[in-house]
Amino acid sequence: MTSWYFAHLTLVQGLLISIPLAISVQIALRSGVFSFASIGFYGIGAYGAGILVIRGWPVPLAIVLMIVGSGLVAYLISAPLIRLRGLYLGMVTFAFDLILTVVVTNGGDLTGGALGLLGVPIGVGTGGLLAAAAIAVLVVSQLERRAVGRALVGIKASEELVMSVGVDLKQRKRLVFAISAALGALSGSLYVLTFSTVQPTSAGFTLIITTLTMAVIGGTSSWVGAVIGAVIITWLPSLAATIGEYQHLVYGVVLVLVVMYAPEGVLGALRWIWLRVAGPGRRLRPGASPSDAPGGPPPPGGPLATVDAGRAKG
């Protein structure tokens, strides 16, 4: 066990760092907010924490400052962004991620230019990473259970319905945006304080692909999906040594296939199997239509689409 642990230390650390990032994307997609912004905030968190710690700031303060600062900034800038229709928000946040690469490349001595930040003092142990990931999971899982989370599911199913029962939709979306950004910043600062370096390309296009794959492959309906996705994507390259440089090609193909054939991800598949194995009685309950079962046998379009199909087109 101990030898396994040390042989896989980097992977374990990578996994613990990826979990908050995967959740940050999952929580946005789950609420129907087409935002890739948390990946940009990952970059901000990584560079920000690195720069502060190099200048002698205490590690916990730097991390907390990055989380709170990113959350606040995200909340403030979310006002004009949340008004945008889905595709526009996707486009703007995608652009935000790409522009950060340009900014940090031109940051001069502060960001280390094209080479990136090097020699950031290592400030987080595996225990710290575990604690951070656990706190992120705890916060998000509590949010999911409470009214906030239920409202978020509602936002995705039907915005009109949620508004009609008196939920301040705008406020909720802005909150999701801020939490997502804070989680991204947390993940980024953990990264730089574990691996002591960050490059301009670290938060670029490949990270968008990797993180989206994590969130989507696991299933965006719950934080559990994001964790499952993070585990799969972290261990995939080490299991299949041959994919090496073709890693992102495999992610790309997997991402497309999952979106096409299993938009509910691994979590949806597990639920489906669970209902088959453990709950056949429930499925035969008189008067219950098959689509009542959460994540039930995917009819064309999956369960979500079945719910949505009943909704009047806006």
Partner 1 sequence: MTQQLINGAVLCAVYVLFSLGLTLSWGALDVLNLAHGALMMFAAFTAYVVTQYFTLPLWLLFVIGVGAAGFLTLLLDVVVFRHIRAKVADKRQAELLTLIAGVGAAGIPVTLAVAYTHDSPFGIGHLESSTFRLAGGAQISKIQIAIIVLGLALCVALALWVSRTRTGRALRAVAFDGETAELMGVNTRTLSAFTMLIAGSLAGLAGMLLVIYLGALTPGSGEPFMLKGFAIIILGSVGSVWGTLIGAVVLAGTETLVISQTSGSWVDAISFAIILLVILLRPQGVVGKGLAERV
Distance between CA 23 and CA 220 in Å, rounded? 9
Q: Is 115 in the site for partner 1 (CB under 8 A)?
A: no
161 near partner 1, judged by CB under 8 A: no
**Two structure tokens written together for 42:** 């990952």
Cβ–Cβ under 8 Å, residues 98 and 204: yes
309 binds partner 1 (CB under 8 A): yes
Task: Find the binder of partner 1 among 7, 61, 110, 249 (CB under 8 A).
Answer: 249
Distance CA 212, CA 22 (A): 7
Position of tokens 């689409």? 305
Part in contact with partner 1 (CB under 8 A); list of ranges 4-12, 79-87, 127-135, 279-287: 79-87
The nearest distance, CB 140 to partner 1, in angstroms, is 20
Residue of 12, 92, 130, 139 interacting with partner 1 (CB under 8 A): 92
- Closer residue to partner 1 (CB): 49 or 230: 230
Q: Does 105 bind partner 1 (CB under 8 A)?
A: yes
Q: Does 112 bind partner 1 (CB under 8 A)?
A: no
Q: Give the Cα separation of 61 and 48 in Å (integer).
A: 12
Helices (H), ranges, the chain: 2-7, 9-30, 37-54, 59-82, 86-105, 126-145, 147-157, 159-164, 169-195, 205-218, 223-239, 247-261, 265-278, 280-283, 302-309
Q: Which is nearer to partner 1, 95 or 273 (CB)?
A: 95
83: nearest Cα among 173, 182, 180: 173
Is residue 247 at the binding interface for partner 1, with CB under 8 A as the rule? yes
Span near partner 1 by CB under 8 A; candidates 125-133, 137-145, 169-177, 208-216: 208-216
> Rounded distance, CA 281 to CA 283, Å?
5
User: Which residues ranging from 14 to 53 are in contact with partner 1 (CB under 8 A)?
Assistant: 29, 32, 34
Q: 205 Cβ partners below 8 Å, 6+ apart?
A: 97, 98
99 binding partner 1? (CB under 8 A): yes
Least CB distance from residue 309 to partner 1, whole Å?
4
In angstroms, the Cα distances linking 20 to 54, 214, 285, 288 are 24, 11, 39, 37
3-state SS assignment for residue 102:
helix
Token pair 């907390």 is found at 64
Q: Does 237 interact with partner 1 (rule: CB under 8 A)?
A: no
- Binding to partner 1 by residue 85, rule CB under 8 A? yes
Could you tell me the smallest distance in angstroms from the CB atom of residue 127 to partner 1? Answer: 34
Print the binding letters for residues 168-207 with partner 1: x by CB under 8 A, - otherwise.
------------------------------------xxx-
CB 219 within 8 A of CB 268: yes
Number of residues in contact with partner 1 under rule CB under 8 A: 57
In the window 256-285, what residues touch partner 1 (CB under 8 A)?
256, 259-260, 263
Sites of contact with partner 1 (CB under 8 A) = 29, 32, 34, 80-81, 83-88, 90-92, 94-96, 98-99, 101-103, 105-106, 156, 204-206, 208-209, 212-213, 216, 245-249, 251-256, 259-260, 263, 300-302, 304-306, 308-309, 311, 313
